[in-house]
Amino acid sequence: MKSGQVTIKDIAKELNISCSTVSRALKDFPGISPTTRKAVVELANKYNYRPNAIALSLRNQKTNVIGVVIPETVHFFFSTVISGIEDEAMKEGYNVMICQSNEQYEREADSIDALMGARVDGLLVSISRETSDLQHLEKVVKEGTPMVFFDRLVEGMNASSVIVDDYQGAYDAVEHLIKKGCKHIVHLAGPDNLIICRKRKEGYISALEDHEIPLDESYIVECRFGEEAEAEKAMTHLLESGMAIDGVFANNDMAGLGAISAIKKVGIPIPEEIAVVGFSNWQFSSLVNPSLSSISQPGYEMGREAARLILVEINSKEPSKREVTILDTELIVRDSSNR
């Protein structure tokens, strides 16, 4: 017999016993003699026998696997979310299968098809920046597979979600800039198709209104991909336009880093003349010069809560009530805005 390809039938044949006896011996059922059990276990170990997971899943109607679709694995925030998901899932005897959409709609749809084909028990999804067509997600709901969204809320879907309070986080960031004396604050915004970006823009606008600072739409510039080079180019154009700018609230930390690069290149001191705050609190935020103030999101807690919700749905005999869990953010003040 070849190691790694052994079946119960192979073990039974070599020991000249029935397949059912081998199965009961491996499961330590009563009624099997110690001698037989010892022989079966030793032979199974010798040939690295493993139960057929596909056969077990067909028999039990469960794979004990949760599928996860994230926009990108390099994002520090999403890596902490995955840690939370895995810790909670494994505690309950579940494994996690992770796919990355790379912020692309088609790749997201293909990933979900692949996970559904692998018969995962449930899906945890954070949609891509490109996703506006929800047919692939609606199909999951129609097929009755439990699904929970995390970080990025999806409108019109009958599914639970775990998000952070993006509105309040943005409000806190802009209010902080205002309290530091900023009156002309640029918002490097994300794409409007993502609810989190719209909420952050709403928080920005509300903070201005509450502090009686007139809103100027020209101070809101979309950085659709949230990339450093994109934000640096946008910020450079704003600085060259001659607009009065003394603060920047970036939709994410990469955009904040791009803004800092553009400001430094023209020799404007940070934070003395222009203060900058990002969102997400990536690891690099404390390492750049000047260190970047940012809104911290509880990624690990989000992952654990998302896993908890999906496990409740997987193990529930009745359809679960849709829940939206909102987690608090925290403003981390660093050199880029501390003046």
Give the angle subtended at the CA of 250 by the CAs of 249 and 256, to the nearest 5°. Answer: 110
User: Could you give the angle at which helices 34-46 and 19-26 cross, rounded to 10 degrees?
Assistant: 90
Q: Which pLDDT value is given to residue 3?
A: 47
CATH of domain 166-297: 3.40.50.2300
pLDDT tens-digit series, residues 156-188: 888 999 999 999 999 999 999 999 999 999 999
pLDDT tens-digit series, residues 227-258: 999 999 999 999 999 999 999 999 999 999 99
Query: What superfamily would CATH give domain 65-163+299-326?
Result: Response regulator (3.40.50.2300)
CATH architecture of 8-51: Orthogonal Bundle (1.10)
pLDDT band for position 61 (50/70/90)?
Answer: low
Q: Which pLDDT value is given to residue 31?
A: 82
Sign of CA dihedral 93, 99, 105, 110: negative
pLDDT band for position 302 (50/70/90)?
Answer: very high
Domain ranges of the chain: 8-51, 65-163+299-326, 166-297
Evaluate whether 65-163+299-326 and 166-297 have a shared fold.
Answer: yes
CB half-sphere exposure, 305, CA atoms < 13 A: 18
Q: Give the DSSP H or E segment for 90.
A: helix 76-91
Residue 28 Rama label (left phi>0; alpha psi -120 to 50; beta):
left
**Contacts of 305 by beta carbon, 8 Å cutoff, 6+ apart:** 84, 162, 325, 327
Find the length of the chain.
339
